[in-house]
Structure 1
């Protein structure tokens, strides 16, 4: 079963841009570029934290460690 989280950027609580939900599933997302793919170096592409809204499935992306995650109960 996937771990559900709440998130914040600084002091601001993250809410889904589509439905306003505040419970997400977290996963790492590779930000692939055509050039790196062409030279078989996709492994070197930057990564982002993806937050998938539990209510509607919309994916939010965050880079550079600006995100704080908190375990959601239930």
Structure 2
């Protein structure tokens, strides 16, 4: 099972826009376009970092390369 992470861009911590949670599960998400899929170039589509809220499941997408992931401290869990 995936372990929770916290995320920040610079000194701004990411919080869920739905429940204000601050722990997420991270995964890569392909940003497919129909044109690229039609020409069988789906592999060349851009990717985003998907942060799935650990509390409510809301999915946040980031293409910002400055997004940093951190392990939550045990006291915060």
State the TM-score, normalizing by the size of structure 1: 0.94
Aligned partners of 1:55 and 1:64: how far apart in 2? 23
> Which of the two has greater strand per residue?
1
Looking at structure 1, the residues matched to 2 and 18 of structure 2 have their Cα atoms a distance apart, in angstroms, of: 21
- Tell me the number of residue pairs that the alignment of Structure 1 and Structure 2 aligns: 74
1:3 shift after superposition: 1.9
The unaligned stretches of length 5 or more in structure 2 are: none
Structure-2 separation of matches of 1:36 and 1:10: 33
* 4+ aligned runs moved over 4 Å, structure 1: none
Structure 1 portions without partners, runs of 5+: none
Residue aligned with 1:69, SS: strand
The TM-score, its normalising length taken from structure 2, stands at 0.91
Q: Indicate whether 1:6 and 2:6 are aligned.
A: yes
RMSD: 1.0
Once residues 70 and 64 of structure 1 are traced to their aligned partners in structure 2, the CA distance between those partners, rounded to angstroms, is: 16
